[in-house]
Amino acid sequence: MPQTNPAMTLPRSGPFSLDDGDSYAAWRAWKLEAHPREVSALLVPVEDLANPSPAERERILDLCRRANMAVYDTSGRSGHPGPALERALRGFAASFGMTTVEDHRSMDEEAVVSIEVVDESARPRSGFIPYTTRRILWHTDGYYKFGYPGAPVIRSMTLHCARQGKEGGVNELLDPEIAYIRLRDENPDFIRALMAPRAMTIPEFIEADGRIRPQSTGPVFWVDADTKALQMRYTERSRNIAWADDPLTSQAVAFLRQLLRGGDEPFLFRHRMEPGQGLICNNVLHTRTAFTDWEGKGKGRLMYRARYSNRIMNTGLQQAA
């Protein structure tokens, strides 16, 4: 149960402990100084997607240490949509220690999920917002698969643009550690509320094939037991979600929603990925705006996504503090 999981207890020391103000102040100063300030600073040219060079790899790792994300750019050299490109994407992820891939209902033989517009006959993807042209609200991936036996924790992901739509489809990105800083600076008790083991609950869901995804209950923030890194699960959805019924949690959620929607956060980035570009990240907060797609089979917006239980290597707290 969430209450007995040591990964979900409030840390007693370190920058994410509410009782260790000195460690937090030192880490906060490092974080705000080290974090990139423009989306252009996240871009890393990559010559060969399947085999990034040592310099490319170190540049991406450095960005993931400082911002938990990087945007790689193959300038279209990554290849045409299909299994070869998907294998290259998996090889790229593996070079950063991302090897334990999520067993997703919509993944193909390469363990990659194609995010594209589908009709009602395209089971099991039909009926879910990512496979439409509609906007996707702020979230971290896998927030609904957490807190029950066998549930995978999604710690990292890649999102590769194979084809872009006609208009729109812009991603917004925010490092969860920046969200943590803003919440803690506003009111440390917001962190206490969002680290509570029953802060957020996503109810049980019955899949189209009759399988049951159990109720998911857990914190918004917690510290990973192995890496000592801060993890986050969040969704801006207003339906089929239950927040802890107390004023402090309500205030914390309202503050976080305003932070994400207010337009004043300098470290909130907006980027429309071009074909051959992709996001590699430690499961950062992100959105997608609505888009207008191209007409015709095989011409519409296509993103390849793979999600992992591994954190990107060498991006835990030990390297950041």
Convert the pLDDT of each residue in 250-292 to its tens digit.
999 999 999 999 989 999 999 999 999 999 999 999 999 999 9
Q: At residue 315, does pLDDT exceed 60?
A: yes
> How far apart are the C-alpha atoms of 260 and 268, rounded to whole Å?
8
Q: What is the number of alpha carbons within 13 Å of residue 33 lying toward its C-beta?
A: 8
pLDDT for the residue numbered 3? 34
pTM beyond 0.75: yes
Convert the pLDDT of each residue in 31-43 to its tens digit.
999 999 999 999 9
Name the one residue in this structure whose structure tokens are 């399947």.
50
pLDDT for the residue numbered 4? 36
> How far apart are the C-alpha atoms of 222 and 180, rounded to whole Å?
11
Distinct helix (H) and strand (E) counts, the chain? 7, 19
- Out of 2-6, 74-78, 151-155, 182-186, the most confident range is 182-186
List, in order, residues 6 or more apart from 66 with CB less than 8 Å away: 31, 34, 35, 36, 320
pLDDT for the residue numbered 198? 95
CA 179 to chain centre: 13
List helix spans (H) across the chain.
21-34, 54-67, 83-94, 176-186, 188-194, 247-261, 317-320
Domain residue ranges in the chain = 2-320
SS (H, E, C) 49-89: CCCCCHHHHHHHHHHHHHHCEEEEECCCCCCCCCHHHHHHH
Q: At residue 118, does pLDDT exceed 70?
A: yes
> How far apart are the C-alpha atoms of 82 and 157, rounded to whole Å?
19
Its CATH architecture, for the domain 2-320, is 4-Layer Sandwich (3.60)
Task: Calculate the average pLDDT of the chain.
Answer: 91
CA 59 to chain centre: 20
> How far apart are the C-alpha atoms of 307 and 182, rounded to whole Å?
27
Q: At residue 109, does pLDDT exceed 50?
A: yes
Q: Of 104-108, 133-137, 139-143, 219-223, which range is least confident? A: 104-108
Convert the pLDDT of each residue in 159-206 to its tens digit.
999 999 999 999 999 999 999 999 999 999 999 999 999 999 999 887
